Each structure stands twice: as C-alpha cells, then as structure tokens.
Amino acid sequence: MSRTLVLVRHGQSDWNLKNLFTGWRDPDLTDLGVKEASAAGQRLKAAGLHFDIAFTSALSRAQRTLKLIQAELGQEDLETIRDEALNERDYGDLSGLNKDDARAKWGEEQVHVWRRSYDVPPPGGESLKDTGARVWPYYIHRIQPHVLNGGTVIVAAHGNSLRALIMALDGLTGEEIVAQELATGVPIVYKLNADSTVASKDVLAG
C-alpha cells in the first residue's frame, strides 16, 4: 500500500518573474519555470515514484508543469483530472497589478494584510481561508480516496491552493501557514496512514 501524495507548485511563470499578482489569470511558464518542472520530474524519477493518477488546476502553468513532469517519468498517458477547485487564490482587483503599484495605490500595510493574512480577502477576491473552502472538500472527496486506497497520486497546483492543503495535512494554524513559503517546482512527498494522517513528509529540493 503506497498511500503516497505528491504536491508540486508550478514552475516560475511569466508573471512571477514580473512581480505581478496572478490569481486566476493564465500566464505561461518562463524558461526557468520549464527547467524547474523538468527538474521536479527528474527528482521524482530518482526517488522511484510512479503515479496512478494526477490532479491539476484549470490553469495552464500548472498543467504544463505536470506535463513536463510526466515526460521525465515516461508517463505521458497518465490519467489526469483538471479542476478549478485547485486554482490559485483569486486576487480579485489585484490580479495583473505589479505588487509595487498595488502598494502605491492602497498602501504597503493594506497590501501586506491582503497578501499575508489568513482570512482578509482583497477587493473582489479570495482570502486563503476562502481558497481552502474550495480546496479541502475537493481533496477529501476526489483526491484522498485514491491515496487511501493505496495509490500514488500527484497534484500540480499553485502556491495558495497547495498552502491550504498543507495547512490541513500538517495541522497548521492560519497564522503558521501564511508564513510558509512554497518554492516553485519542488515536490513535497507525503506518505499517509490508513486513517488519513501523515506518516512522513519529504521535500525533494535540488
């Protein structure tokens, strides 16, 4: 019984590079992001992982990251389920803005609250708590059963949708999870117990 869950944040996107709030907007990976995704696949292959099913968001940067990982693993035909429940946090009115421009418009303190508080959403957008409210049920009903049935499952998604999952898996508070940085293209390998608790966690950094 493998009961393995792998979480991977997509490789660097064009808007990550330009310091823009991305959210549900759909920029592609940079050249570095492509390399990060391929390197993630290489590390997963070196760890001997072979997947039964994959989940990703409705956004192309996560989907392309997953495809690059699959190519490294020789699993291009892996069953893949795409769902907007795994999309990045919706930044609402901040989407597409340079973070420095947002600070100039609303003030550094207010933008910091929107970025780093757990339950205060930006105008027209989602807080991390709101993001969790769509990620957690999807995980419980769609992803977790495959893991608990003994499968090896990969989820390629986004900084905040994965933060919501990590918060639940690691038993973190809202304050603890917003302080956690999640590197692009670095797989996190969880082994779960039969009761869905975490048996082990391994970060496959380069």
> First vs last Cα of the chain: how many Å apart?
27
pLDDT at 158 > cutoff 80: yes
23: CB partners within 8 A, 6+ apart: 88, 89, 90, 91, 92, 94, 95, 125
169-178 pLDDT per residue, tens: 999 999 999 9
State the Rg of the chain over Cα.
Answer: 16
42: left (phi over 0), alpha (psi -120 to 50) or beta: alpha
Mark whether 88 is an active-site residue.
Answer: yes
Percent of the chain with pLDDT over 70: 100
Model-level pTM?
A: 0.96
Q: Give the tens place of pLDDT for each residue, 85-118.
A: 999 999 999 999 999 999 999 999 999 999 999 9
Domain range for 47 = 4-203
Q: Which one of 10, 126, 146, 158 is the catalytic residue? A: 10
Determine whether 79 is an active site residue.
no
> Catalytic pick from 36, 72, 84, 88?
88
Q: What's the pLDDT score for residue 45?
A: 98
CA distances from 84 to 23, 36, 62, 157 (A): 12, 23, 11, 10
Number of structural domains the chain divides into: 1
Instruction: For the chain, count helices (H), then strands (E).
Output: 9, 6
**Edge-first strand listing for the sheet containing 152-157:** 80-82, 53-56, 152-157, 4-9, 188-192, 198-203
With a cut of 90, say whether residue 162 has pLDDT above it. yes
Containing 189, the helix (H) or strand (E) segment is strand 188-192
Q: Which two tokens stand for residue 86?
A: 């795994």
Alpha-carbon distance 2 to 124, whole Å?
A: 41
Mean pLDDT of the chain: 96
CATH code of the domain covering residue 136: 3.40.50.1240
